[in-house]
Structure 1
Amino acid sequence: MKNVEKYARGYFMPPEPSMKWMEKEYVTQAPTWCSVDLRDGNQALVVPMSLEEKLEYFQLLVNIGFKEIEVGFPAASETEYAFLRRLIEDNLIPDDVTIQVLTQSREHIIEKTFESLKGAKNAVVHLYNSTSVAQREQVFRRSKEEIIDIAVSGAKLLKKYAAETEGNFKFQYSPESFTGTEMDFALDICNRVLDVWQPTPDNQVIINLPATVELSMPHIYASQIEYIGNHLNYRENVILSLHPHNDRGTGVADAELGLLAGGERIEGTLFGNGERTGNVDIVTLALNLYSHGVDPELNFENLLEIKEIYERMTDLKVHERHPYAGKLVFAAFSGSHQDAIAKGMKWREEKDEDRWNVPYLTIDPIDIGREYEGDVIRINSQSGKGGIGYLLEQQYGFELPAKMRENFGYVVKNISDTLHKELMPAEIHQIFMEEYVNITKPVEFIDYRFGKHDDFNTKVTIRINGEVEEIVGSGNGRLDAINQALQTKLGMKYNDLVYKEHAQEKGSKANAVSYVGITAADGVVYWGCGIDVDIMTSSVKALFSAVNKMTANVPIAIY
């Protein structure tokens, strides 16, 4: 590509090695989660939420289990101010939930922010100012010391107004655009703010290190986090928070490595909504923890309902391939994938296995409100016999013999290929019923009789060419006797009769299901299925179905 030379690395490595995080295998406990959907997420919407919509969304976040929620920038607009007052005055904030508000380091903004918070039970006041080289040189045109003065004066004003305002307040500071800031300067400005606030065990503060713009690979961000965490003043009384964005598409990786590096708190949004490519996606982060056996302390057991509310409130769509929540993320179209999943599920049943280890599925879809039927096995021209057979078994109670599954698989794939579409479970069931079950043309089975204590000689009533007649046969058992009568009548020869039967447990009433496969002289196997309340009758119907399918390709001699 052209112009590559104009892109330089805009981040700064720590001045000393900070790689201890690499020794950790995975995140072992959930961080403190802070949703910024109602501030960072809302400001990125084409049409920001109305007051009533924000109230509904706030309740959604509470129901999910967020204990910290950034509700807005109350000095920025009357809607945000009114929303905050409504939450406080109508007592809509649970006692165990802390709200958070954002403010710039300007006195009139800080004053209005505390005015909006009057009476809040628990609130975080989030102070920020930009610190990066680009912001200092191009936007503010200030020296490092002048940028520090902005932060320090804001920190002092927070202390002043908090002391004068009714409520319980905690302070937070963010060196905005931290990732484009020299690490020694970022550390200096954070420590200067901490020196003003002087946190204690009973009055901890939050230092939030945002990847306001993602500028580096995730391991660089982790090293930056570790360096700052190792050198903060009052470290034991500081909560180290992360606020990754997703400009390079690695926001989740930034957050996970940042947690390994000492981060204790995450600010993000549901499904990654936010400016540009968005904030870090808390749904993905939380369920990644869950997939490692770590309780995320957020409840996504009804993820599809959460997604519906999110899409309605934001007018954004969750992508079909979005981790965990996307429509297709558990779907297997590939035949080999479907076969592995079906066998994995069968193995779990046989072993009564507690641990989840099914091929191709990182978590059990059921645990987040998804379903196996329709969510996991999806049928198109790429599908295989295993998935098609699994779908029929799970939804309709058919347990096809292995070779019959293969035969039916080709039927379904050919239909899907011809129609150029995915086939829904009901369509597959209909194809199976029409292709194999209780087929009555050209020969319809009506009834059979055996003599008392005689399972070897039979009389079978059939309808053929519109005429009802009776045929006789002998064999080494009931089905074989009927089989011999039918072969004699039709002048057909086939062998290697394959037979399987079972009770059909799904459906409105209990039925017996039988499958019969017969091999013609040219080696082609024809399959039929019979369904009846009586097991013997279902077997006979399966035999007639297979023979009727064979007559489409093999001439019969009716006499």
Structure 2
Amino acid sequence: MSASITPPFPAGASEPHAPAWNRQRHSPMPSHRYSDVFSRVDVPLGDHRRWPGRRLTAAPLWVPVDLRDGNQALAEPMSPQRKRRFFELMVAMGYKEIEVGYPSASQTDYDFVRLLAETDLAPDDVTIVVFTPARRDLIDRTAAAIRGIRNDVVIHLYTATAPIWRDVVLGRSRNELRELILGGGRDVLEAAGDLPNVRFEFSPEVFNQTEPDYVLEICDAMTSLWDASPDRPVILNLPATVEIATPNVYADQIEYMDRHLDRRDSVILSVHPHNDRGTGVACAELAMLAGAQRVEGCLFGNGERTGNVDLVTLALNLHTQGIDPMVDFSDIDGIRTTVEECNRIEVHPRHPYAGSLVHTAFSGTHQDAIRKGLAEHRSRATAEGRSESEIAWRVPYLPIDPADIGRGYEAVIRVNSQSGKGGIAHLLEAAHGIELTREEQVELALRVQQHADATGGEVTAAEVLGILRSHPARKAQPID
């Protein structure tokens, strides 16, 4: 269905039947040029979906693709030294399957795969993934790159399958593209099928915009061709290559495949969400509810356009639900520094969990709640005779204990003109061991706010102490 070429309402017009309290008006944005997802692809589950009633109870198999997909999105691709440093970081964190490159795309990628073949850089329990399009010469070069690798290896074959890609990019009908993909599958089998440590992965790129019956047909044909079995399972990776819908639609598409695939016990169902709508994390989480067992993504969400799904956020989201993410983030600042230096892209200060400001409160009401929550946490640990790191975490406004990821509490509360007495009292207690009565807190907070309004900036603990000392009538006492 094509989109209307005439806007249904002129700019500035009100929405018919809108309630009186909604005074919004139609914008001049040409939204009429676009069609919704339901006009572009069937979403077949209807009212029979099961995923909404499920809960996440375990981590999936994480597969970081920073060294291939993430690297392809960098203005300056990683040097061999940066690739190696990033790989060693991911191994140290506990990742057990890592996509290391696109060996037919560049000499650097080819050489890095050969480095893994010729050294002990990859521990025995780490599976190496390499990426190739369905083209014989590129498949042969990929197979040459992995020869001699002692680790388990996955050869990842991909081809775009969505109608617009078939029509505009590839110029092939459904049947013609099916034969091209199966031909690539046969080439992979011929090039590396004799290697006992090699398994296969297929990605119908732009899965989320492909007809469900067609992608199911191709995936079943590939698992049959590659003789998928429980002992040698095939990975079917179903990417949301370009996000076009709300996350529930992707979950419906994944559940449809989960329920209809042949040889389901011989398939590892994988997802690879992108973040074009800003909902990559939600897509991955709902896809896991819908049957996905494996998730491809990048640390901190690097990737083309708005990036791949962020594996850091996904893993720590599980951690905050009491689920072991099976990856170690206990030195989040060290991880962030390494990734920033390898990618040469800074992590945003408000990035979930890892940003420099994510555990910081400036608001007075937030500061008061956090201060009281931290005090209660310390008291409860003392009462239970246990370490603060062992007892249940329930501090308001902080969904995770900063100590879990290697951070202290110094920057949890910072003071500016928006801050209140609780935050100022916390700063004095934490930095100088000074405790104030409530009345003293109220009076000092007023003076600190006046100072902050006058300067327009943040107020340090030293400045707060100076303001306190400039009024010697205060009866502040050091904490015993």
- Asked if these proteins are the same fold (TM beyond 0.5), I'd say yes
Secondary structure, counterpart of 2:197 in structure 1? strand
Corresponding residue number in structure 1 for 2:396:
359
2:464 to 428, 436, 441: 428
Corresponding residue number in structure 1 for 2:474:
527
Corresponding residue number in structure 1 for 2:20:
none
Range with greater deviation from structure 2 (404-413 or 344-353): 344-353
What is the CA deviation profile of residues 14-39 of structure 1, one whole-angstrom value per residue up to 9, with x for unaligned ones? 33435200012x31100000000000
Measure the CA separation in 1 of the matches of 2:268 and 2:461.
Answer: 51
Corresponding residue number in structure 1 for 2:293:
264
Measure the CA separation in 2 of the matches of 1:147 and 1:420.
Answer: 62
Q: CA deviation at 1:416?
A: 1.5
2:429 equivalent to 1:393: yes
Measure the CA separation in 1 of the matches of 2:400 and 2:44.
Answer: 40
Corresponding residue number in structure 1 for 2:204:
175
Aligned partners of 2:201 and 2:234 also within 8 Å = yes
Measure the CA separation in 1 of the matches of 2:361 and 2:344.
Answer: 28
Corresponding residue number in structure 2 for 1:2:
29
Corresponding residue number in structure 2 for 1:119:
148
* Aligned ranges 1:96-115 → 2 under 5 Å: 96-115=125-144
Q: CA deviation at 1:430?
A: 3.5
1:291 to 316, 320, 337: 320
Secondary structure, counterpart of 2:199 in structure 1? strand
* Aligned ranges 1:220-299 → 2 under 5 Å: 220-299=249-328
Identity %: 47
Q: CA deviation at 1:13?
A: 3.3
Q: CA deviation at 1:49?
A: 0.5
2:342 equivalent to 1:306: no
Corresponding residue number in structure 1 for 2:166:
136
Q: CA deviation at 1:195?
A: 1.1
Q: CA deviation at 1:531?
A: 7.1
> Measured at CA, do residues 530 and 289 of structure 1 come closer, stay the same or move farther in structure 2, by a change above 3 Å?
closer
Alignment gaps of 5+ in structure 2: 1-27, 385-390
Which has the larger Rg? Answer: 1
Aligned partners of 2:64 and 2:297 also within 8 Å = yes
Measure the CA separation in 1 of the matches of 2:239 and 2:462.
Answer: 50
Secondary structure, counterpart of 1:372 in structure 2? coil
Measure the CA separation in 2 of the matches of 1:286 and 1:55.
Answer: 23
Measure the CA separation in 1 of the matches of 2:476 and 2:214.
Answer: 77
Secondary structure, counterpart of 1:125 in structure 2? strand
Measure the CA separation in 2 of the matches of 1:239 and 1:355.
Answer: 35
Secondary structure, counterpart of 1:135 in structure 2? helix
Secondary structure, counterpart of 1:527 in structure 2? coil
Measure the CA separation in 1 of the matches of 2:102 and 2:329.
Answer: 27
Corresponding residue number in structure 1 for 2:67:
38
Secondary structure, counterpart of 2:349 in structure 1? coil
* Aligned ranges 1:68-79 → 2 under 5 Å: 68-79=97-108
2:231 to 193, 198, 202: 202
Return the structure number with greater relative CO, CA threshold 8 A, min gap 6: 2
What is the CA deviation profile of residues 189-236 of structure 1, one whole-angstrom value per residue up to 9, with x for unaligned ones? 111111101211111110000000001100000000000111111001
Q: CA deviation at 1:156?
A: 1.4
2:407 equivalent to 1:370: yes
Q: CA deviation at 1:58?
A: 0.5
Secondary structure, counterpart of 2:474 in structure 1? strand
Secondary structure, counterpart of 1:373 in structure 2? coil
TM score, norm. by length of structure 2: 0.89
Corresponding residue number in structure 2 for 1:325:
354
> Measured at CA, do residues 401 and 16 of structure 1 come closer, stay the same or move farther in structure 2, by a change above 3 Å?
closer
Secondary structure, counterpart of 1:33 in structure 2? strand
* Corresponding letter in the other structure for 2:414: R
> Measured at CA, do residues 168 and 407 of structure 1 come closer, stay the same or move farther in structure 2, by a change above 3 Å?
same
What is the CA deviation profile of residues 234-276 of structure 1, one whole-angstrom value per residue up to 9, with x for unaligned ones? 0011000010000000000000000000000000000000000
Measure the CA separation in 2 of the matches of 1:131 and 1:385.
Answer: 60
2:461 equivalent to 1:418: no
1:379 to 370, 390, 415: 415
Range with greater deviation from structure 2 (381-390 or 341-350): 341-350
What is the CA deviation profile of residues 465-523 of structure 1, one whole-angstrom value per residue up to 9, with x for unaligned ones? xxxxxxxxxxxxxxxxxxxxxxxxxxxxxxxxxxxxxxxxxxxxxxxxxxxxxxxxxxx
2:82 equivalent to 1:53: yes
What is the CA deviation profile of residues 103-157 of structure 1, one whole-angstrom value per residue up to 9, with x for unaligned ones? 1111111111010001112111000101001100111111101111111111112
What is the CA deviation profile of residues 393-427 of structure 1, one whole-angstrom value per residue up to 9, with x for unaligned ones? 12221121111111111122211111111122333
Secondary structure, counterpart of 1:127 in structure 2? strand
Secondary structure, counterpart of 1:34 in structure 2? strand
Alignment gaps of 5+ in structure 1: 440-525, 536-559
Q: CA deviation at 1:333?
A: 0.5
Range with greater deviation from structure 2 (173-182 or 12-21): 12-21
Measure the CA separation in 1 of the matches of 2:68 and 2:175.
Answer: 30
Measure the CA separation in 1 of the matches of 2:463 and 2:146.
Answer: 58
Q: CA deviation at 1:349?
A: 2.2
Corresponding residue number in structure 2 for 1:475:
none
* Corresponding letter in the other structure for 2:427: L
Q: CA RMSD in A?
A: 1.6
> Measured at CA, do residues 531 and 424 of structure 1 come closer, stay the same or move farther in structure 2, by a change above 3 Å?
closer
Measure the CA separation in 2 of the matches of 1:163 and 1:347.
Answer: 60
Measure the CA separation in 1 of the matches of 2:332 and 2:454.
Answer: 35
Q: CA deviation at 1:346?
A: 1.4
Measure the CA separation in 2 of the matches of 1:531 and 1:405.
Answer: 14
> Measured at CA, do residues 154 and 334 of structure 1 come closer, stay the same or move farther in structure 2, by a change above 3 Å?
same
Aligned partners of 1:242 and 1:267 also within 8 Å = yes
Corresponding residue number in structure 2 for 1:90:
119
Measure the CA separation in 1 of the matches of 2:378 and 2:76.
Answer: 49
Q: How many residues align?
A: 441
Range with greater deviation from structure 2 (412-421 or 328-337): 412-421
What is the CA deviation profile of residues 377-404 of structure 1, one whole-angstrom value per residue up to 9, with x for unaligned ones? 0110100111111121122211211111
Measure the CA separation in 2 of the matches of 1:122 and 1:305.
Answer: 29
Range with greater deviation from structure 2 (405-414 or 218-227): 405-414
